[in-house]
Amino acid sequence: MKIFIDTGILDEIREAVSWGIVDGVTTNPSLVAKSGKPFRELLEEITRIVDGPISAEVVSTKADSMVREAEDLAKIHRNIVVKIPLIVEGLKAIKVLSAKGVKTNCTLCFSASQALLAAKAGATYISPFVGRLDDISTEGMQLIRDIRQIYVNYGIKTLILTASARSPMHFLEAAKIGSDVITAPFAVLKQLAHHPLTDLGLAKFLADWEKAKK
Ligand code: G3P
């Protein structure tokens, strides 16, 4: 499973990259706003930190302007993947961009039916938002299972990018289901790296080592 970090904070990306676990980055307009940096400058900096897919979202909502925005973003770097919201105008834009060879990440997906349409339109990635479904008492990971079943049924090549991950359990379940990618905030990646028994075990090893030296 590929691991992308879901952030616009450069120091978080640098730190996670130093662990050797990061395969790409996802951003969205809210994360870019939070970074406090100009959009293009932020993307250019990220391309220098991570040699992998970097999702950058359009803010237009009409197909023709989405396509123009997407082509501009794609020119920034070969690793830029353009995020397009899963609305009808977004499907139209994905169809055009797919034919032009522009990689797309169809975002704000909340149903398996939507995911099938996005794949039909030619999306490179599909981003089902599992955490936001959990937030409304709907089992987000069931959506990943349903999408994977449908994609396997028809040999669909669109990559499942589990998004809106809120916990290590989302990460674990995504890996067990066979999600192609998960994108997670730095806080979740930190949680994944730590286990209390590892910390306790290491402390005991070092304490015993010190005792033996005396
Ligand atoms: O990439 C999508 C992700 O940023 C959404 O996460 O936590 O805002 O639902 P969240």
Cα separation, 65 vs 59, in Å, equals 9
Q: Report the phi/psi class of residue 136: left, alpha or beta, with left for phi > 0 and alpha for psi in -120 to 50.
A: alpha
With CA atoms as reference, report the closest residue to 159 among 63, 55, 69, 75: 55
d(CA 129, ligand 1 centre) in Å: 7
Helix (H) or strand (E) holding 154: none
pLDDT in tens, 93-120: 999 999 999 999 999 999 999 999 999 9
d(CA 166, ligand 1 centre) in Å: 9
Cα separation, 110 vs 118, in Å, equals 12
Spell out the residues 6+ positions from residue 80 whose beta carbon is closer than 8 angstroms to its own. 43, 47, 54, 56, 73, 74, 103
Binding site membership of 183 for ligand 1 (Cβ less than 6 Å):
yes
| pLDDT given for residue 214 in this prediction | 80
Task: Identify the CATH number of the domain in which residue 37 sits.
Answer: 3.20.20.70
Domain count along the chain: 1
**Res 191 pLDDT > 90:** yes
For the segment 181-196, the average pLDDT, to the nearest whole number, is 96
Binding site membership of 29 for ligand 1 (Cβ less than 6 Å):
no
CA 190 to chain centre: 16
pLDDT in tens, 47-86: 999 999 999 999 999 999 999 999 999 999 999 999 999 9
Domain extent, residue 164, equals: 2-213
Cα separation, 54 vs 72, in Å, equals 14
Taking CA atoms, 16 is separated from 5, 54, 100, 101, 147, in Å, by: 8, 15, 33, 30, 28
Residue nearest to atom 9 of ligand 1 (CA): 164
Max intra-chain CA distance, the chain: 74
CA angle, 31 then 94 then 76, to 5°:
55
